[in-house]
Amino acid sequence: MSEMPRTLNPARSANASCDRPANNRWWRRSAANSWVDFNVTREQRPNAARSIPSPTGALKRTPLGLRIDSVTGSDLDAIGLLQDAARRSLYAYVVAQGREVSRNEAAEAVGLQRTLAAFHLDRLATAGLLDVSYRRLSERTGPGAGRPAKLYRRAATDHTVSLPPRDYLLVGKILAEAIERSGAEETLYGTAREQGAAAGRALARSSGLTLDDLRRDLAERGYEPYQDGSRLRLRNCPFHAVAQEFPVVACGMNLALLEGMLSGGGLDGAYVARLDPRPGECCVALHSKNNVN
Domains and CATH numbers, the chain: 1-50 (no CATH), 73-154 (1.10.10.10), 168-291 (3.30.1380)
Enumerate the H helices of the chain as residue ranges: 73-81, 85-97, 103-110, 114-126, 168-182, 185-204, 211-220, 240-245, 247-264
Residue 18 has pLDDT above 50, yes or no: no
Q: Is 119 exposed, middle or buried (0-12, 13-18, 19+ CB in 10 A)?
A: middle
Residue 9 has pLDDT above 60, yes or no: no
Least confident of 31-40, 185-194, 223-232: 31-40
**pTM exceeds 0.85 for this model:** no
Q: Are 269 and 251 in contact (CB under 8 A)?
A: no
Residue 264 has pLDDT above 80, yes or no: yes
- Residues 156 and 164: their CA atoms lie apart, in Å, by 25
Average pLDDT over residues 231-254: 96
Q: Are 201 and 213 in contact (CB under 8 A)?
A: no
- Residue 275: the pLDDT is 96
- Residue 72: the pLDDT is 63
Contacts for 225 with CB less than 8 Å, ≥ 6 apart: 215, 218, 219, 232, 233, 234, 235
pLDDT tens digits, one per residue of 112-170: 999 999 999 999 999 999 999 998 887 766 666 678 899 999 998 888 888 888 899 99
Torsions phi, psi for 276 (to 5 deg): -150, 65
Please give the residue that has the higher pLDDT: either 290 or 88.
Answer: 88
Residue 236 has pLDDT above 60, yes or no: yes
